[in-house]
Amino acid sequence: MLVLGIESSCDETAAALVTADRTIVAQAIASQDADHAPFGGVVPEIAARAHAERLTPMIERVLAEAQVTLADCDAIAATAGPGLIGGVMVGLVTAKALAMAGDKPLLAINHLEGHALSPRLADPALAFPYALLLVSGGHCQLLRVDGVGRYTRIATTIDDALGEAFDKTAKILGLGFPGGPAVERHAATGDPRAVPLPRPLFGSAEPHFSFAGLKSAVLRAQDSGLHATADIAASFQRVAIDCLLDRTRRGLAGMGPVGALVVAGGVASNRAVRAALEGLAADHDLRFVAPPPSLCTDNAAMIAWAGIERLQAGFASDPLDISARPRWPLDPAAEPVRGAGVKG
C-alpha cells in the first residue's frame, strides 16, 4: 500500500509517500520561517498563500523522486484540521482534486492523530495502549491511546501550549523565530538555576498544564536587566520541564496501565525534554518512545502514515465534500477545563 500524504496546517508545506511497511519512499518539506520571521510569528494569510504556491510543484517532485505516478497511489491523505483554516483548505482541496482526478480514496486526517501515531511509524514494536504526551506549538496534552481513533484526553493546558511558551520566551529574549530550537541552543550555555521562575500548577491535584505565568515571569526577568539571556533561557527550559514532568507524573497515575510513554509534536525534538521524559518513563517501568526529530515537527509522512493506519484499522475513506476544521479535538468527549484561552 502506497499513500500520498499532504500537510499544510501551519507553516510547513509538506508532501510524502509512505508504504504500509513503514518506508518513507520520498518526502519534501518547505518551511516558511523566512516568510514569517519579520512578523515574529505565523501570519495566516501569508501561510495560506505560500502553501498554495508551493504544494502542487512539491507533490510533483515527490512523485518524480519516487518514480511513481498518481495512479500508483492507493489513497490520498491530507490534514483536514485542526490548524490555520486557509492553509488546511489549500492542502485538503489539493487532495480532493487529486483523489477525484485519479479516482482514489480521500483520507481527511486529523493533524493531531498524525502526531499521535507518528511514533508507530518510527517504531514497529510500539503497541497500544500507550500514554502520549503531545507537545507542539498549538497543543499540550496527555492522552491515553487505546487504538487508531481511540483517544482519551487525560490532561490539557489551561492557557498556553508548551511550544507556544518556548516561542514567546524566544520572542521576549530576542532570539528570533521559530523560538523552540533557539531557546534550546541558548539554554545549553546558560545556568538553569540562575533565574527564579514560578512553576504554574506544580503539585496540583488535576493533571492539567499551565505555562502562561511562566512566560510572564520570563518577561519580568528580561525587563529587570539583571540576567544574561542564556541564563533566562536555561532557567525557563528547566522550569518548563519540571512542570511537564510533574503534570505528566500526575496524569500517568490516573490513566490505568499502559505499555509506553510516548512523546510527539514539535517540542519532542528538544533534547532536554526527551532526556527528562526518558527518566520519567524509567521511573514508571515504561518503555520510552520518541520519534526522530524530523518526525516530531510537522511533516507529511505522519499524515500519510495516519491514513495507512486508518485504512488498516477498517475506517472508511472520506467523501469529497468533507470540510476543513479549524478545531478538531482528538477526544471529543473531553470536558473543557477551567482557565482562559483553553486549548482543546
Binders of ligand KG4 among residues 8 to 67 (CB under 6 A) are 10
Nearer to Zn ion (CB atom), residue 165 or residue 239: 165
- x-marked contacts with ligand KG4 along 135-174 as a string, rule CB under 6 A: -xxx------------------------xx-xx-------
Distance of alpha carbon 304 from alpha carbon 282, whole angstroms: 31
C-alpha cell recorded at residue 228: 544574561
181 makes contact, choosing from Zn ion, ligand KG4, none, with CB < 5 to 8 Å by partner type, with: ligand KG4
- Lay out the site mask for ligand KG4 across 181-200 (x = CB under 6 A, - = otherwise): x--x----------------
* Of 105, 103, 130, 45, residue with least CA distance to 310: 105
| Dist CA 251 CA 188 (whole Å) | 29
Q: Which is nearer to ligand KG4, 33 or 65 (CB)?
A: 33
Shortest Cβ distance from residue 274 to ligand KG4 (Å)? Answer: 10
* Smallest separation (angstroms) from ligand KG4 to the CB of 298: 4
Instruction: Write out the three cell numbers for 344.
Output: 482543546
Given a contact cutoff of 8 angstroms between Cβ atoms, the answer to whether 212 and 200 are in contact is yes
Closest to ligand KG4 by CB, 94 vs 269, is: 269
β-strand pairing of 75-81 with 2-7:
parallel
Q: Between 91 and 265, whose beta carbon lies closer to ligand KG4? A: 265
By beta-carbon proximity to Zn ion, the closer residue of 94 and 269 is 269
Which residue has 520510552 as its cell numbers? 288
Smallest separation, CB 136 to ligand KG4 (Å): 3
Number of separate helices (H) and strands (E) present in the chain: 11, 10
The H or E element containing residue 80 is strand 75-81
User: Considering only residues 7, 298, 309, 318, which one is a binding residue for ligand KG4 as defined by CB under 6 A?
Assistant: 298
Q: Report, in this order, helix, strand and coil percent for the chain, each rounded to 5.
A: 45, 20, 35
Q: Residue 297 interacts with ligand KG4 (CB under 6 A)?
A: yes
The Cα 175–Cα 342 span in angstroms is 27
By CB under 6 A, the residues from 97 to 136 that bind ligand KG4 are: 136
299 near Zn ion, rule: CB under 5 A: no
Q: Does 136 bind Zn ion (CB under 5 A)?
A: yes
Q: Can you tell me the distance from the alpha carbon of 96 to that of 162, in angstroms, rounded to the nearest whole number? A: 33
Residue 232 in contact with residue 175, Cβ under 8 Å? no
298 binds Zn ion (CB under 5 A): yes
Is-contact 181 31, C-beta < 8 A?
no
The C-alpha cell 505528566 sits at 248
Identity of the residue, 32 or 269, whose beta carbon is nearer to ligand KG4 in the bound complex: 269
* Binding residues for ligand KG4 restricted to 256-285, rule: CB under 6 A: 265-267, 269-270
Return d(Cα 96, Cα 115) in angstroms, integer. Answer: 22
Q: Hey, what's the cell of 144? A: 491515553
Does 244 participate in binding ligand KG4 (rule CB under 6 A)? no
Select from 52, 110, 123, 57 the least CA-distant residue to 82: 110
Q: Is 318 in the site for Zn ion (CB under 5 A)?
A: no
Q: Which does 167 bind (CB under 5 to 8 A by kind): Zn ion, ligand KG4, none?
A: ligand KG4
Residues in touch with Zn ion (CB under 5 A): 136, 298
Residues in touch with ligand KG4 (CB under 6 A): 10, 136-138, 163-164, 166-167, 178-181, 184, 265-267, 269-270, 297-298
